Every structure is written in structure tokens, then in C-alpha cells.
Amino acid sequence: MEPAAAEAQALGRLVNSEAVKIEYDDLSLAFDFVSSGAPMEHRAFVSLETEKSSWVFELSPVEEEELPDDLETPGLYLEVPHKNDLDLGRDLVLRFVDERLPDQRNRVADIFHHRRAYRRFKELLTEEGCLEQWYAFEAEATEQAIREWCRENNIHLSKGDEE
């Protein structure tokens, strides 16, 4: 399909509120990839035409032939957000602490003003015996945020066995 036709099809899909379909596992992997680096270090995009994701590692770019030629074409791709864009970074940590360890809030807030904050935060959670609770809390909040982002962007999540 020619780039202009693909862009028109993708824009038509958005105008007509036709949902883009993507597998949850694919989107979740792309989200994890984006969030594993600093904001804008790793980027991922969902094609509004093919409903596939493409990943870009900014410090060591993927070979050009692996990236779609039309990646920079407006309206054809939706950029996968970083966890900080969905309030899943420090804000999520503080929500967890407020719920589960309110007496440690000042200590945790101080931890996040220094380098290696997540490592030190997880050490604190280990001391307090609630590291597994944190992982469950983080996983649930992440899934909810991804699903909300999908609703806002007219993306239908499917499982691999659905047609």
C-alpha cells in the first residue's frame, strides 16, 4: 500500500472510530521496553494500519530495514507511552507507601530525591516484608493504566487466540 493511501486508511479509521486491535501481550512488551529506559531512550509505536508494534532503541538504533519506512508519517502510528506518562513511576510508589507503609512516607520521599532510588526502595520493601505486595500492586496498576490508555486511544486489546 502506498504511504498516502495507508495514511488515509489510518486517519479514516480514527475518524470513523474504528478500533485498532492489538494483542495485550504485544502491547505490554512494548510498554515494558519503553519503560525500561529513561523517557525517550526507548520508543515503541503501534501501527494504525497493520496493528503491529515497532521498537526503537535510541542509543543503539535498530537496523533501518527493520523499521517501517513510514514511521515518521503523521497519523499512521501511535506512540506507546512511558510509565511516567501514566503516573506509574514515583507517583505509584507514593500511592503504595500511603496505602501500605504510611509511617515510611517521608523516608521513601527522601529516597526518591537521590540516585538509585528504586534499588533503595526495594531494599526498604524487603526489610518491611512487602516486596511481593509491591510487585502485585505495580502489576495491577500497570495493567489498569495500559487498558485505560487503550480506551482513550480507541485500541481494542485481544488475546493471541482471538480472531
Q: 90 lies in a domain?
A: yes
User: Contact, 16 vs 150, CB < 8 A?
Assistant: no
pLDDT tens-digit map of 62-97:
544 466 777 777 788 889 999 999 999 899 999 999
Residues 72 and 7 in one domain: yes
Q: 147 lies in a domain?
A: no
Q: 44 lies in a domain?
A: yes
Q: How many domains does the chain have?
A: 2
pTM of the full structure: 0.76
Q: Which domain holds residue 93?
A: 86-139
User: Contact, 9 vs 19, CB < 8 A?
Assistant: no
Amino acid 142: pLDDT: 96
Amino acid 18: pLDDT: 72
- Kindly list the distances between the CA atom of residue 60 and the CA atoms of 42, 57, 64, 103, 132, in Å, as whole numbers in the listed order: 10, 6, 11, 43, 33
Mean pLDDT for back-to-back runs of 10 residues, the chain (163 residues) = 44 57 90 88 84 67 58 81 93 96 96 93 97 97 95 86 44
Residues 77 and 90 in one domain: no
